[in-house]
């Protein structure tokens, strides 16, 4: 305890040097925390919108559908939807039927992906559908209303209320056609979706394809991503009764997004480590200077009976205190920056005009941070360790001082 007190006093002996080191440590910690929290927030939002518009946090497919995307691998969900909806943390369970086909207006024809959905359920979670006015929403499972991707609508030269025909191959291999009417249009910003999406009531689509009650995808949207750890095992349990079906997480179902995020985190980590290492070198320099300046004083301390170990501990205590103070200061600054980035955010609209797409998911132009407290704690602890590591060489130096020599030459 007395040693720690002495270390604390020693730290403030060269006030300016200590302050500069403290600021360097605190600022780099703040930068790392704030920057991480910003990308954490952006990714969470991205995952959320990607998951809601896409295949959900968790998704069930026929095991052969995953790789082939062949529409013959449909399945009957049975009680799965009800069972999953009953689990804690599940916001919505969305059955979907995907049928490739051809859409024809009086002027043009285009390849489309006819998607049979439960409209009310989709509207509750899908951000693009939610933004549509009520008079553009699908009203029933079996109606002839259809929502088209904005680009598809334009290419077919259709307007809301116009009729068009969809042709596809049904389950028995026959070509079948059905007339639909444009109810609304969505713009997601993703080209492939905007030019091929054709959303209709599930019953109508299933009847057309001759697959009544069947689906290709059962997307599960959770209240938040953190429920994944709870719901995923429960899903696997339920799927024991459905040996043909597999349950995937969003990372497996949307590998592009997951990989893009992983890659970005990895490059961030690399930059963070380099930043912290540079700062650590500065700390080594500070500690070493302060040890060399006190050569004679350390000689006296050793002469009056302190062991070399105690001197080493003194140097470590100084580094520990330096690390602790900057850990607290840096985390306070990091929290402040995170708070600002969460409340105000960074509006990319000032810089870029186009729709922002990342890993196949469109994101909000206002980047907002989210709190990743375990990470903040972890990186703060890491910095503390680095300051201790920075003390190793100076401590060895201090421990090697020979009192007789220190007294004679300094």
Partner 1 sequence: MPLIELKSVSKIYPLGSQQVIAVDDLSLSIEAGEFTVLAGPSGSGKTTLLNLIGCLDEPSRGEVWLDGQEVGGAPQPQLAKLRLRKIGFIFQSYNLIPVLTAAENAEFTLMLMGVPKSRRRQRVVELFAELGLAGLEERKPSDLSGGQQQRVAIARAMASQPAVVLADEPTASLDSQASEELLALMRRLNREQGATFVFSSHDPLVISRAQRVVTLRDGRLESDR
Beta-bridge mates of residue 168: 176
Query: Does 374 participate in binding partner 1 (rule CB under 8 A)?
Result: no
Instruction: Find the shortest distance in angstroms from Cβ 323 to partner 1.
Output: 20
> Cα(195)–Cα(190) distance, rounded to whole angstroms?
9
> With respect to partner 1, which residue has the nearer C-beta, 10 or 26?
10
Query: Does 309 participate in binding partner 1 (rule CB under 8 A)?
Result: yes
> Cα(4)–Cα(9) distance, rounded to whole angstroms?
9
Residues 116-145 close enough to bind partner 1 by CB under 8 A: none
Query: Does 296 participate in binding partner 1 (rule CB under 8 A)?
Result: yes
Stretch that binds partner 1, among 63-71, 107-115, 207-215, 303-311 (CB under 8 A): 303-311
- Which one of residues 125, 253, 301, 391 is an interface residue with partner 1 (CB under 8 A)? 301
Query: Does 308 participate in binding partner 1 (rule CB under 8 A)?
Result: yes
> With respect to partner 1, which residue has the nearer C-beta, 8 or 265?
8
Q: Which residue is associated with the tokens 């990319």?
A: 348
Nearest to 198 by CA among 157, 165, 174: 165
Query: Does 310 participate in binding partner 1 (rule CB under 8 A)?
Result: yes
Query: Does 306 participate in binding partner 1 (rule CB under 8 A)?
Result: yes
Total residues at interface with partner 1 (CB under 8 A): 24
Instruction: Find the shortest distance in angstroms from Cβ 283 to partner 1.
Output: 20
> With respect to partner 1, which residue has the nearer C-beta, 2 or 354?
2
Query: Can you read off the two tokens belonging to residue 268?
Result: 């961030």
Under DSSP, the state recorded for 355 is P
Query: Does 287 participate in binding partner 1 (rule CB under 8 A)?
Result: no
Query: Does 407 participate in binding partner 1 (rule CB under 8 A)?
Result: yes
> With respect to partner 1, which residue has the nearer C-beta, 82 or 293?
293
> Cα(303)–Cα(290) distance, rounded to whole angstroms?
19
> With respect to partner 1, which residue has the nearer C-beta, 133 or 305?
305
Can you tell me whether residue 102 is helix, strand or coil?
strand
Contact 214, 74 (CB under 8 A): yes
> Cα(132)–Cα(141) distance, rounded to whole angstroms?
18
> Cα(240)–Cα(217) distance, rounded to whole angstroms?
17
> Cα(71)–Cα(61) distance, rounded to whole angstroms?
11
Stretch that binds partner 1, among 4-12, 35-43, 94-102, 359-367 (CB under 8 A): 4-12
Q: How far is CA 386 from the centre of its chain?
A: 27
Query: Can you read off the two tokens belonging to residue 139?
Result: 């009203």
Alpha helices by DSSP H, listed for 59-201, are 65-68, 80-85, 119-125, 127-130, 150-155, 191-194
Query: Does 181 participate in binding partner 1 (rule CB under 8 A)?
Result: no
Query: Does 165 participate in binding partner 1 (rule CB under 8 A)?
Result: no
Query: Does 403 participate in binding partner 1 (rule CB under 8 A)?
Result: yes
Contact 113, 99 (CB under 8 A): yes
Q: Which residues bind partner 1 (CB under 8 A)?
A: 2, 6, 9-10, 12-13, 296-297, 300-310, 402-404, 407-408
């Amino acid at each position: 305890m007395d040693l720690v007190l002495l270390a604390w006093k020693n730290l403030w002996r060269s006030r300016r040097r200590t302050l500069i080191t403290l600021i360097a440590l605190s600022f780099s910690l703040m930068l790392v925390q704030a920057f991480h929290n910003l990308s954490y927030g952006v990714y969470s939002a991205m995952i959320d919108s990607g998951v809601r518009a896409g295949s959900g946090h968790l998704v069930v497919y026929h095991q052969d559908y995953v790789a082939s995307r062949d529409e013959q691998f449909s399945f009957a969900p049975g009680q799965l939807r009800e069972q999953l909806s009953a689990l804690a943390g599940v916001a919505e369970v969305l059955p979907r039927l995907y049928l490739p086909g051809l859409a024809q207006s009086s002027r043009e024809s285009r390849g489309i992906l006819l998607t049979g959905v439960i409209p009310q359920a989709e509207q509750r979670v899908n951000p693009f559908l939610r933004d549509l006015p009520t008079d553009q929403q699908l009203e029933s499972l079996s109606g002839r209303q259809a929502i088209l991707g904005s680009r598809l609508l334009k290419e077919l030269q259709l307007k809301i209320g116009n009729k068009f025909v969809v042709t596809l191959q049904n389950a028995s291999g026959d070509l079948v056609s059905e007339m639909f009417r444009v109810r609304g249009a969505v713009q997601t910003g993703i080209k492939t979706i905007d030019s091929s999406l054709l959303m209709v009531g599930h019953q109508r689509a299933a009847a057309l394809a001759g697959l009544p009650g069947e689906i290709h995808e059962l997307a599960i949207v959770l209240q938040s991503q953190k429920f994944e750890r709870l719901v995923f095992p429960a899903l696997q349990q339920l799927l024991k009764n459905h040996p043909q079906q597999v349950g995937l997480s969003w990372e497996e179902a949307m590998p592009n997004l997951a990989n893009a995020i992983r890659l970005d985190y990895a490059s961030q980590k690399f930059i963070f480590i380099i930043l912290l290492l540079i700062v650590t070198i500065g700390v080594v320099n500070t500690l070493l200077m302060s040890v060399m300046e006190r050569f004679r004083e350390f000689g006296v301390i050793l002469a009056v009976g302190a062991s070399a170990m105690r001197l080493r501990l003194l140097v470590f205590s100084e580094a520990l205190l330096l690390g602790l103070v900057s850990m607290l200061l840096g985390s306070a600054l990091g929290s402040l920056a995170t708070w600002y980035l969460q409340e105000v955010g960074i509006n990319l609209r000032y810089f870029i005009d186009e729709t922002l797409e990342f890993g196949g998911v469109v994101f909000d132009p206002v980047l907002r941070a989210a709190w990743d407290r375990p990470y903040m704690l972890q990186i703060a602890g890491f910095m503390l360790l680095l300051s201790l590591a920075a003390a190793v060489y100076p401590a060895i130096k201090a421990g090697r001082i020979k009192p007789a020599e220190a007294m004679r030459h300094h």
